[in-house]
Chain A
């Protein structure tokens, strides 16, 4: 009985190590040249050699990602609340939102560069544009799926629109909201790195682009690993916040 929690704690590390070992073995056995696919050990070693540069670029990427993500949260919650609480706004906004979300954000980067120049601002905006949609949809769904009986109970007590939103709508939408944050933060990384790759002189995306133009594939992969690690770290942070703040919604898988 006691061994099980330990195993499930170790499982993510075991699977990550397993993947790296497999990757290392495949590259070595098939003798794949490093400019096609470097080994993970080589990537990590090169990553360490360049750790000062990587650190600087990673911090910048993290900054643009979080800035874009923060704007997406504020905007997404407001729009989601509007869309979720009114049928008319939903009807008006839905096609626009879906259409907008279908546009590949990488295609917007050149436009943003025309408007704001290269560098930080387009990266933040791209991160924002790519990550707000899941927040809007989830907040709106959480608000709109309120049980009609509960609404009747509250209305027959004289509850106002705001009462219903504050007492029931928002608390009820919380699990949906936090679930969307986990999706949104990983998307925000995609957005900022895309923008850095297309038009920037700073950030992990730029680092990888310049490394690949010098055929330094181990450094490209080191950059990829850094992005992945940052993504996992942010995802975990929001995962913990979610579990802490919406315990009631996750009661099915309590470990205690």
Chain B
């Protein structure tokens, strides 16, 4: 009835603050005035002591407002990368730096969305979207008094992803695509500087998925936030990202860093052009090499 297997060890870990800005690191950094917002320096990851490496020495620099995508075979540690950057998991070696501070605990400025929309079934769409406001400071102290203002903000955001008129519906009354839109709104309502997307469109049909690419691109172009998108859809990466990273199979390692030359805004027509196809083709061949190696 109640086996240990259903338990999630580590559930409810306490959050801790960032460590203070480390001047030494700043001075020692090679690119002292770099525009990088997220930085991984020689990061390696083992899930537990003595385990094989899950992530091989990784270095990354992501600029503020940059949209990057990480592609690679399944089980290569893409999702771990997100957890490292958001501070949900500490690196075994190396440092993760976000906004000039070394990450030492869960960041509090991150929005997250997963393949599973994880909406709360007892809340309406509107209340689901407002959930971060009940947690993030300073909003949590202001929410009760300024409820109308926050609701207005959530309604606007919902309208911008095409969910107008569905605010008072419960998640089970929404289609999968609509739930995923609501989940996207929930991850953006508190205007995070950093958005983590872990195969957010993986469970959707092709048409809905492409519709959501446009929605995400629009949101991002209105207010550029830094995005790390993990996906195994190469077309998705080529459509959305500024920079695409290809990872090897486990232990994960970044093999290729590819700038995306396509101009923005990108639309569905662009996916049928030669540069787009070439890019996807090139990524595909990298992945093939990875899988065969």
B121 proximity list for chain A (CB < 8 A): 248-249
A159 contacts B8, C-beta separation under 8 Å: no
A158 contacts B118, C-beta separation under 8 Å: no
Judged by a CB distance under 8 angstroms, whether A16 is at the interface is no
B12 proximity list for chain A (CB < 8 A): 85-86, 151, 161, 164-165
Judged by a CB distance under 8 angstroms, whether A27 is at the interface is no
Greatest chain A CB density within 10 A among B112, B116, B136, B172 is at B112
In angstroms, Cα B116 to Cα A163, docked, is 21
B15 contacts A152, C-beta separation under 8 Å: no
The smallest C-beta distance from B21 to any residue of chain A, in angstroms, reads: 19
A92 proximity list for chain B (CB < 8 A): none
B122 proximity list for chain A (CB < 8 A): 171-172, 174, 246, 248-249
Judged by a CB distance under 8 angstroms, whether A241 is at the interface is no
B4 contacts A90, C-beta separation under 8 Å: yes
Q: Of B112, B120, B131, which is within 8 A of A152 by CB?
A: B112
In angstroms, Cα B111 to Cα A50, docked, is 68
Q: Of B2, B87, B107, B116, which is within 8 A of A149 by CB?
A: B116
Judged by a CB distance under 8 angstroms, whether B9 is at the interface is yes
A137 contacts B1, C-beta separation under 8 Å: yes
* Chain B contacts with A in 4-42, Cβ cutoff 8 A: 4, 6-15
The smallest C-beta distance from B183 to any residue of chain A, in angstroms, reads: 9
Judged by a CB distance under 8 angstroms, whether B83 is at the interface is yes
B11 contacts A156, C-beta separation under 8 Å: no
Q: Of A149, A164, A251, which is within 8 A of B118 by CB?
A: A149
* A residues in contact (CB < 8 Å) with B: 85-87, 90, 94, 137, 140-141, 144-161, 163-165, 167-168, 171-172, 174, 246, 248-249, 251
Besides A150-B118, A157-B135, A171-B122, 4 more A-B contacts (Cβ < 8 Å) are A85-B11, A144-B7, A158-B108, A167-B134
Task: Show 11 A/B contacts (Cβ-Cβ < 8 Å), sorted by A.
Answer: A137-B1, A144-B6, A149-B118, A151-B11, A153-B187, A157-B108, A158-B137, A163-B135, A171-B120, A171-B122, A251-B172
